Structure formats: C-alpha cells, structure tokens
Amino acid sequence: MTLSKALVPSNSLVSKALLVLGGSALIAVAAQVQVPMFPVPMTLQTLAVLLVGLSLGARMGAATLIAYLAEGAAGMPVFAGGASGAALAGPTAGFLFGFIGMAWIAGFFADRGIRGFVPTALAALVASAALYLPGLAWPAATMGVPMDTLLNGWALPFLAGDVVKAVLAALIVSGGWAMVGRKG
C-alpha cells in the first residue's frame, strides 16, 4: 500500500485524477523555486518528483509526470523559470523526460511497501541517480556535449543537492507514514 492509498482509500477515477493533477501542480510550483546555477538552475522540482513517486506509487507517479509534461507541451508555464513546450526539445529535455522514470522507480519501491526513513532515503537516492542517465544522454546525443563536460558541469554540482532532496523526501514520506500509523 502506498501513502496516498492510506490517506485517500478511494480507488475512483475522480480520486486518481485529483491525485495526478495535485501532484503535477506540486511539481510545477516546486520547479519555480530556483537556486541559480549553470547550465540550469537547481530547483525543488526533483524533490517534488520524489514525493510524487514515493507517495503515489509507480503507475500513478509516472502518470503524474506524463500529465506534467503534457501540461508543459500544451504551453502551460510549468517548467523551471516558467518555461513550457520549448523546454521539451532544449538541453534539459532528457531530465524532463527522465522525471517519468524517476517517479516510477521511487514508486516501484513504494509499491513494495518500503517505509521508514532509511529505506525510503535509499529508494530516493536510487531514483535520483537514475535521472542522470536520460538527463546526460540527451545533450550528449543532440548537442554533442562531451561526457566530461556533462559530468563536471551538469552532474557533479547537483549531487549534494540531490542527496539533500532525497533525505528531505524520506523525512516527509516517513513522517506521513508515522501520522497514518497514529490515526490507525
């Protein structure tokens, strides 16, 4: 059982749609919280993606990210810095599309019943690390950016922040489980 199912036991289509829309709204707001860095700002977007996956599970988490990308493709300013559709073909498109897999991986662990801070933090770290595969492959393939440039400029500066966000996601989700336990 995922945290969302513990909190919202309804399995109706309306409940699922509201969870997906709420999750995509959370990610859109988190994308606007930025710390300036090059080549892209660090945002709270990945924290929100982890929270969505860890709370909703693999299928609902991935569906939420597909909805989020569709909102951006439709012209809504949901990506970092208020960007929309053009970002889906820009240098960070691999990260945007990789969010689907990131949420699915985090959700995969949630679907298997992980609870508690340490297992949740480890799941969040695995999901965060997986994001770098499509995130770095895209600019390498589409722009010819050398791998050493990608590792030194597009990955290494963000690793510490990714660890902090994984820890925050684990604290929030394990705290949510603790609250559910007190209610039951």
Residue 33: predicted pLDDT: 95
Token digits of residue 56: 């909703």
Residue 143: predicted pLDDT: 96
Residue 35: predicted pLDDT: 82
For residue 37, the surrounding DSSP H or E stretch is: none
| CATH number of the CATH domain containing 71 | 1.10.1760.20
Residue 40: predicted pLDDT: 65
Other beta carbons less than 10 A from residue 59's beta carbon: 15
- C-alpha 7/C-alpha 84 separation (Å) is 32
Report the greatest alpha carbon distance in the chain: 54
Give the three-state DSSP class for 76: coil
pTM: 0.95
- C-alpha 177/C-alpha 183 separation (Å) is 10
Full residue range of the structural domain in which residue 80 is found:
3-183
Number of structural domains (the chain) is 1
Residue 182: predicted pLDDT: 72
Residue 39: predicted pLDDT: 60
pLDDT by position in tens, the chain (length 184): 999 999 999 999 999 999 999 999 999 999 999 887 766 668 999 999 999 999 999 999 999 999 999 999 999 999 999 999 999 999 999 999 999 999 999 999 999 999 999 999 999 999 999 999 999 999 999 999 999 999 998 899 999 999 999 999 999 999 999 999 876 5
Residue 20: predicted pLDDT: 98
Residue 12: predicted pLDDT: 96
- Token look-up 């995130």 returns 135
